[in-house]
Amino acid sequence: MGLTLAAEQLDLMATLYDAPTDELLDELTAEFDDRLDAPAWAEFAKTGHDREMPPQQDDFWARRAASILRKIAVDGPVGVERLSTEYGSLTKGSTRYRVSPSEKTDGSKNVIRTIVQQLEDEGLLEQQGTNGRTVTAEGRSLLDETAGDVLEDLDRPDLERYA
């Protein structure tokens, strides 16, 4: 009886695992639009060598930063090499008759490295020696507060039980 009463009195916070990923990334993108500035070369850079054009989204830099922060929080510690593998894609083999098998290509390490360095400067990430980067307490707090805001604004009846 005492244990259930104590559990009811606790004000449980939402974590990044509770909120739907799409809505969480949308809220984080809005947050990072003000906090992070894309470098001058970002509008000309492709996101991988298999791409023909640079991204056409206006908020690409902030959206990729939000995605990287969430991915490091979920999988961390993570390095740039593993993140570039995550953000890569498949090529369809040779262009003549498509006879060679598909190959995995990596995403742009320069884009990822620059975003990770910007997130470190903001105090949201920190290096763990040679193991990669992890989310700081401030970064975790930002993710959890944003997840709480997302769950409060949730209009999907199938997910109302999580609010």
CATH code at position 141: 1.10.10.10
Q: Is residue 8 part of a domain?
A: no
Q: Is residue 43 part of a domain?
A: yes
Mean local confidence (pLDDT), 8-21: 69
Distance (Å, whole) CA 132 – CA 79: 4
Share of the chain above pLDDT 90, in %: 28
Count structural domains, the chain.
Answer: 1
CA-to-CA separations, 27 to 23, 62, 72, 154, in angstroms, rounded: 6, 10, 17, 12
User: Dihedral through CA 80, CA 84, CA 87, CA 93, nearest 10?
Assistant: -170
Q: Is residue 4 part of a domain?
A: no
Q: Is residue 46 part of a domain?
A: yes
Contact (Cβ atoms closer than 8 angstroms) between residue 131 and residue 82 = no
Q: Is residue 3 part of a domain?
A: no
Q: Is residue 160 part of a domain?
A: no
Q: Which residue has the higher pLDDT, 121 or 102?
A: 121
pLDDT, tens digit (0-9, with 9 covering 90-100), for 41-99: 888 887 776 777 777 788 888 999 999 999 999 987 999 888 888 888 777 665 666 66
pLDDT, tens digit (0-9, with 9 covering 90-100), for 125-151: 999 888 889 999 999 999 999 988 888
Angle at 128 between CA 83 and CA 81, to 5 degrees: 20
Instruction: Please report the pLDDT score of residue 158 as a whole number.
Output: 65
Q: Is residue 145 part of a domain?
A: yes
Domain of 25 in residue numbering reads as: 15-155
Q: Is the pLDDT of residue 118 over 80?
A: yes
Q: Is residue 37 part of a domain?
A: yes
Distance of CA 156 to the CA centre of its chain: 23
